[in-house]
């Protein structure tokens, strides 16, 4: 089993987490400072979402675009890895995405993780003028996209002829620093298609679910790996972990503040961050996921923009997980 690693989301605006920062430049600088904080604190990677409109409802509020943010954070940091949870396949042609990813991998000196999924935010698709096919078709598009990206990363003049995408001698230079290419993390838990795509093309899977569900999904993934002849242990098992770290009074404060920014009631916000509590409780929940087979945890704390929150998580939780 791989050694447990933790990544962390940096505030990006998608969950209204930059709404209290008035100036757009300062919003980005807040995002950047959190990335540097995570690097100094010892997290393995920073992550951003790939969305254009806020949730749970679209507001006239900043949401920094995923891949331009990747490029900027690649130069603002020095050693921490950079990922997306996850790139929406429908928002960019996969050939362009492969080119962008190669460039960011070079800019970061080989620190990129490519997270990718089929996409789900219908409102966002339609607002930006993108077609929103039914789920089976989006998954078929994702299957082809994974092949396109790999071709762009490994072939001198990439060729691919599919139903949705075509490459006809596409040159992608520079190639990525990482060999044979940056790791591909596939988000989603669909048992018939998505987890089979992980077995066929992914370096990691990613879930957002309770422990029992994750355990079941990993059993399904194992079966797909056996079917396609893939070593199950070669797939990194990852999860998104939404939490507020603190005693009851601190959790209540952050819940109240987050509810105000998001324009939601406090019960909704508590459902957004189900694994909240002090360091002992948070570490215990993470250990339960590890026992179920998870090897990598991506932490999301809604008040990271306050400064010091990411560092405090590392200082209090890492030792309880035997990481320091």
- State the pLDDT at residue 119: 97
Q: In this predicted model, what pLDDT tens digit does every residue of 20-66 receive, in sequence order?
A: 999 999 999 999 999 999 999 999 999 999 999 999 999 999 999 99
Q: In this predicted model, what pLDDT tens digit does every residue of 118-150 receive, in sequence order?
A: 999 999 999 999 999 999 999 999 999 999 999
Rounded CA-CA distance 309/244 in Å is 10
For residue 103, give the nearest of 78, 127, 75 by alpha carbon: 75
**Residue 297 three-state SS:** strand
Average pLDDT over residues 8-23: 97
Considering the entire predicted model, what is its pTM? 0.97
**Which runs of E-coded beta strand occur in the chain?**
5-9, 45-48, 81-84, 87-88, 114-117, 158-161, 166-170, 184-187, 204-207, 236-242, 296-300
Q: In this predicted model, what pLDDT tens digit does every residue of 149-177 receive, in sequence order?
A: 999 999 999 999 999 999 999 999 999 99
Rounded CA-CA distance 241/286 in Å is 8
What average pLDDT does the structure give for the chain? 97
- Calculate the dihedral angle through the C-alpha atoms of 188, 190, 192, 197, rounding to the nearest 10 degrees: 0
- State the pLDDT at residue 2: 63
pLDDT of 295 strictly over 60: yes
Q: In this predicted model, what pLDDT tens digit does every residue of 192-246 receive, in sequence order?
A: 999 999 999 999 999 999 999 999 999 999 999 999 999 999 999 999 999 999 9
CATH for 5-321 is 3.20.20.30
Cα 229 → chain centroid: 27
Q: In this predicted model, what pLDDT tens digit does every residue of 99-117 receive, in sequence order?
A: 999 999 999 999 999 999 9
Does residue 224 contact residue 198 with C-beta atoms inside 8 Å? yes
- State the pLDDT at residue 1: 46
- State the pLDDT at residue 3: 87
Rounded CA-CA distance 184/228 in Å is 18
pLDDT over 90 percentage in the chain: 99
Tokens describing residue 222: 């194992």
Task: DSSP letter for 112, please.
Answer: B
For residue 237, give the nearest of 266, 253, 252, 215 by alpha carbon: 215
Tokens describing residue 255: 């819940």
Rounded CA-CA distance 160/279 in Å is 49
């Amino acid at each position: 089993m791989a050694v447990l690693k933790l990544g962390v989301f940096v505030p990006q605006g998608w969950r209204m987490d930059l709404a209290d920062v008035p100036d757009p430049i300062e919003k980005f600088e807040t995002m950047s400072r959190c990335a540097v904080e995570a690097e100094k604190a010892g997290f393995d990677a920073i992550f951003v979402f790939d969305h254009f409109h806020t949730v749970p409802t679209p507001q006239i509020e900043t949401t920094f675009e995923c891949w331009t943010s990747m490029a900027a954070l690649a130069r603002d940091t020095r050693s921490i890895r950079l990922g997306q949870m996850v790139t929406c396949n429908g928002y960019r042609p996969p050939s362009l995405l492969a080119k962008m990813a190669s460039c960011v991998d070079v800019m970061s000196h080989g620190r990129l993780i490519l997270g990718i999924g089929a996409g789900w935010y219908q409102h966002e698709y339609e607002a930006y003028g993108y077609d929103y096919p039914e789920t089976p078709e989006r998954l078929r598009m994702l299957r082809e996209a994974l092949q396109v990206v790999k071709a762009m990363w490994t072939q001198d003049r990439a060729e691919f002829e599919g139903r949705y995408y075509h490459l006809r001698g596409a040159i992608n230079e520079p190639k990525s620093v990482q060999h044979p290419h940056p790791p591909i993390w596939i988000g989603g838990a669909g048992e018939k298609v998505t987890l089979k795509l992980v077995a066929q093309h992914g370096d990691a899977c990613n879930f957002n679910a309770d422990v029992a569900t994750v355990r079941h999904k990993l059993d399904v993934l194992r079966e797909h790996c056996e079917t396609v002849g893939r070593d199950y242990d070669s797939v990194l098992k990852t999860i998104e972990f939404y939490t507020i770290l603190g005693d009851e009074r601190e959790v209540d404060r952050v819940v109240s503040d987050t509810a105000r920014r998001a324009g939601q009631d406090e019960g909704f916000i508590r459902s957004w961050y189900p694994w909240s509590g002090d360091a002992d409780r948070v570490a215990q929940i993470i250990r339960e996921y590890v026992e179920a087979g998870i090897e990598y945890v991506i932490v999301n704390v809604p008040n990271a923009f306050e400064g010091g929150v990411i560092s405090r998580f590392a200082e209090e939780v890492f030792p309880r997980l035997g990481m320091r």
